[in-house]
């Protein structure tokens, strides 16, 4: 009995130490993300020159494209977590999938908003049924459906598996978004892809690269935070169930 108690105590100490190291890494990434935002905003608005055709509105580009990339990151994380849950059935994979889907929704909404602001200047309308815009909207709606399903359909194993299948299915739309301009044309501009106009000034390229770094860090922070919350909620639920089984709190 004493040996088992000592082993349990040692396990708790090891787990606490691992969590402490994880907290240090998490807050380090969070600090790097905050610093990256400050630097990126400075470069975008004070170093990168104003584009001659679009004017100041062109600076939306330095946010829009990195945010779209972060949406892909969230969707990819949702796919990995969903596939992992279907294969292993553990709460860790489920938490990862849920965090990725929520990140993808948040970034997807920002993509649609920044794209609409760009379109109002470039095309004279906030929205047009362009192939890339339409497929991007479809992708956002898929992950909105995932989030709504997880929020209101219960937290049983069958609900989690159904949501995981949706998370795997949602990833199939990502290549369609990426190649829609090449396959079907449309109004969406090509700037950094093959045949695009490119960024002429070095500070423009710097602003875009910093944007990619910043919003990738933001996606990591959002996903990591959501996973931590989800796993903490799962541990609390398990503790409550154990307490009920032992009769703790019963009169």
Per-residue model confidence (pLDDT) at position 12: 47
* Residues β-bridged to residue 55: 51
**What was the pLDDT predicted at 104?**
96
* For the chain, domain boundaries: 19-241
pLDDT of residue 2: 46
d(CA 211, CA 6) in angstroms, rounded, equals 50
Half-sphere exposure of 199 (CA within 13 A, CB side): 18
**How does pLDDT run across 102-150, given as a tens digit for each residue?**
999 999 999 999 999 988 888 888 888 888 888 889 999 999 999 999 9
The closest alpha carbon to 133, from 157, 153, 116, belongs to: 116
- Whether 25 has a pLDDT exceeding 80, the answer reads yes
pTM flag (> 0.85): no
Please give the average per-residue pLDDT across 86-103, as a whole number.
92
CA distances from 158 to 85, 155, 164 (A): 11, 8, 10
What's the pLDDT at 6?
44
- For residue 236 the two structure tokens come to 């609390």
pLDDT of 120 reads 87
In the predicted model, is pLDDT for residue 5 greater than 70?
no
Residue 156 in tokens: 């049983």
- pLDDT at 78 exceeding the cut of 60: yes
Report the pLDDT value the prediction gives residue 180, as an integer from 0 to 100: 67
Give the pLDDT confidence score for residue 8 in this predicted structure.
Answer: 43
Buried b (16+ CB within 10 A) or exposed e, 103-112: bbbbbbebbb
**What CA–CA distance (Å, rounded) separates 192 from 60?**
15
Q: What is the pLDDT, as a whole number, of residue 87?
A: 93
What are 51's strand-pairing partners? 55
Tens-place pLDDT, residues 160-199: 899 999 999 888 888 887 776 566 555 666 655 555 556 7
- Share above pLDDT 70 across residues of the chain, in percent, rounded to a whole number: 82
End-to-end CA distance of the chain: 29
Q: Residue 92: pLDDT above 80? A: yes
Convert the pLDDT of each residue in 30-44 to its tens digit.
Answer: 999 999 999 999 999
Asked whether the predicted pLDDT for residue 10 surpasses 50, the reply is no
Of 102-106, 141-145, 200-204, 217-221, least confident by mean pLDDT is 200-204
């Amino acid at each position: 009995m004493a040996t088992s108690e000592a082993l349990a105590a040692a396990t708790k100490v090891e787990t606490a130490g691992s969590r402490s190291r994880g907290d240090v890494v998490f807050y380090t990434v969070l600090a790097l993300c905050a610093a990256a935002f400050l630097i990126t905003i400075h470069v975008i608005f004070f170093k990168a020159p104003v584009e001659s055709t679009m004017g100041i509105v062109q600076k939306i580009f330095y946010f829009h494209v990195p945010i779209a990339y972060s949406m892909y990151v969230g969707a990819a994380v949702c796919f990995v977590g969903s596939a992992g849950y279907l294969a292993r059935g553990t709460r860790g994979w489920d938490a990862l999938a849920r965090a990725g889907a929520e990140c993808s929704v948040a970034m997807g909404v920002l993509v649609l908003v920044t794209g609409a602001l760009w379109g109002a200047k470039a095309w004279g309308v906030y929205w047009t049924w362009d192939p890339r815009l339409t497929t991007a909207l479809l992708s956002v709606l898929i992950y909105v459906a995932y989030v709504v399903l997880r929020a209101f359909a219960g937290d049983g194993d069958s609900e989690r598996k159904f949501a995981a299948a949706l998370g795997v299915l949602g990833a199939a739309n990502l290549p369609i978004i990426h190649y829609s301009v090449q396959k079907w044309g449309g109004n969406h501009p090509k700037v950094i892809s093959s045949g695009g106009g490119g960024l002429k000034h070095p500070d423009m390229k710097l602003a875009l690269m910093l944007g990619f770094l910043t919003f990738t860090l933001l996606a990591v922070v959002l996903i990591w935070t959501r996973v931590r919350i989800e796993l903490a909620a799962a541990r609390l639920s398990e503790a409550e169930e154990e307490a009920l089984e032992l009769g703790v709190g019963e009169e």
